[in-house]
Amino acid sequence: MVRCAGSGPGADPAEQLDVRLTMGLARRAGQWTVVHEHHSVAAD
């Protein structure tokens, strides 16, 4: 889970968004690389 919140002018710090983040990784040329990424917002 990733929690995002605004911090700019007029942003309400109490207003937050929880997001699910899924990443698929593969080892390529000796380094881990993100090969797939998916974001979704939890339904209440």
Contact in structure between 18 and 2 (CB atoms under 8 Å): yes
User: How confident is the model at residue 3, as a pLDDT?
Assistant: 86
Hey, where are the domains in the chain?
Answer: 17-44
User: How confident is the model at residue 44, as a pLDDT?
Assistant: 66
User: How confident is the model at residue 26, as a pLDDT?
Assistant: 98
Is 80 exceeded by the pLDDT of residue 43? Answer: no
Q: How confident is the model at residue 41 (pLDDT cuts 50, 70, 90)?
A: confident
State how far the Cα of 15 lies from the Cα of 13, in Å rounded to an integer: 5
Instruction: Note the pLDDT tens digit of each residue in 6-37.
Output: 778 887 877 888 899 999 999 999 999 999 99
User: How confident is the model at residue 20, as a pLDDT?
Assistant: 92
